[in-house]
Amino acid sequence: MSERDPEAGRGDSDAGAGGRGPTEGTGERDAVSGTGARARDSGAGGALVAVALPELPEIQPGDDLGKLAAEAWWKLTVDDAKLAPQPRDVLVVTQKVVSKAEGRIVRLADVEPGAEAVAFAEAWDKDARQVEVVLRESAEILRMERGVIISRTSHGFVCANAGVDASNVGAEDVVTLLPENPDRSAAVLRRRIHDELGVLVNVIVSDSFGRPWRWGITDVALGVSGFRPLEDMRGSPDTEGRTMRATVVAVADELASTAELASGKTSRRPLVLIRGARLPEGIGTVADDVIMPLEDDLFR
């Protein structure tokens, strides 16, 4: 696993502890496909606003999540017209509602666990069907012991339980899977919101990760659309004029974490407007810019 791979617990899943994926690459890697990218001035005077949009209905497979998000944003502006969408706004959307809308759910009654899943479940008092789903969603198992499964998904995320989650699903005996392509999900939502509201805002699909060697979870970006997820400050002077050589800021992850503070885990308000953020210029994705290449993984 990479130097930043989480080993801490993911608090919102009952399939075991663990965390999710690496954050920053090595200091020598061009993490944003071109060094020296600069953040544009937000014009906000240092003020950052994070506001949870009104509650959504229970999301079902096939629901038009972009339209529902636009309607929720419209309701928000009824109470405060200043919160009407602006081009530099960021809308953070939790992975759970994205996965539900995209039909990325599995009914455990339909799962027949294999021998490996049954043995692990019996040893650690787990649901063998849920363990089986985790194994199926794992491109590579990195650790499987003490009731914890740490795996690498097809996206490249290093996750507890391959992102399979049973909490806040809206039904018993059901688990959600990660979106097949979170960056694409963010782009689809961005276009749909533009269709409904006439403003092309920025979108983040977020989820909870553990951190290496630290208890507690924090939200990170699984996918982005509209800006680069990292601010590469290498080659820029610090406050004393010295050239920075390893500083790459995980802007999208920081915004995802900010959004979680505004929404909370159990509020049923999975959409958060963030205004005033300094967004790195250009277009990027989590898949291309944030996921650490295997050759940079210091723990393999």
The predicted-structure confidence for 47-64, as pLDDT tens digits, reads as follows 899 999 999 999 999 999
Own/partner long-range contacts of 149-153 (Cβ < 8 Å, ≥24 apart): 149/15, 149/16, 149/18, 149/120, 150/1, 150/5, 150/7, 150/18, 150/19, 153/178
Domain-located, residue 135: yes
The reply to whether 110 and 235 lie within a common domain is no
Select from 255, 262, 258, 269 the least CA-distant residue to 202: 255
Domain-located, residue 294: no
pLDDT computed for residue 298 by the predictor: 83
The reply to whether 36 and 56 lie within a common domain is yes
Domain-located, residue 300: no
The reply to whether 118 and 154 lie within a common domain is yes
Please determine, for residue 81, whether its predicted confidence score (pLDDT) is greater than 70: yes
Dihedral angle, C-alpha 288, 289, 293, 299, nearest 10 °: -140
Please determine, for residue 23, whether its predicted confidence score (pLDDT) is greater than 60: no
Hey, is 170 helix, strand or coil?
coil
Mean pLDDT score, 281-285: 93
pLDDT computed for residue 1 by the predictor: 41
Which domain does 268 fall in, by range? Answer: 31-104+179-289
Provide the number of structural domains found in the chain.
2
What is the β-pairing status of strands 202-211 and 90-94? parallel
Which residues are within 8 A (CB) of 288 and not within 5 positions of it... i.e. 6 or more apart? 33
| Percentages of the chain per state (helix, strand, coil), in multiples of 5 | 30, 20, 50
272 or 240, higher pLDDT: 272
Mean pLDDT score, 276-295: 93
Mean pLDDT score, 105-129: 96
Identify the band that residue 3 occupies on the pLDDT scale cut at 50, 70 and 90: very low
The reply to whether 70 and 218 lie within a common domain is yes
Task: Give the H/E segment covering residue 144.
Answer: strand 140-145
In percent, the amount of the chain with pLDDT more than 90 equals 65
210 or 111, higher pLDDT: 111
Last residue of a domain, one of 178, 195, 212: 178
pLDDT computed for residue 213 by the predictor: 83
pLDDT computed for residue 170 by the predictor: 65
Mean pLDDT score, 84-102: 97
The reply to whether 38 and 64 lie within a common domain is yes
pLDDT computed for residue 239 by the predictor: 77
For tokens 């339909």, name the residue. 110
Please determine, for residue 163, whether its predicted confidence score (pLDDT) is greater than 70: yes
pLDDT computed for residue 235 by the predictor: 67
Domain-located, residue 113: yes
Mean pLDDT score, 2-26: 34
Please determine, for residue 123, whether its predicted confidence score (pLDDT) is greater than 70: yes
243 or 26, higher pLDDT: 243
pLDDT computed for residue 234 by the predictor: 66
Select from 157, 200, 191, 202 the least CA-distant residue to 177: 157
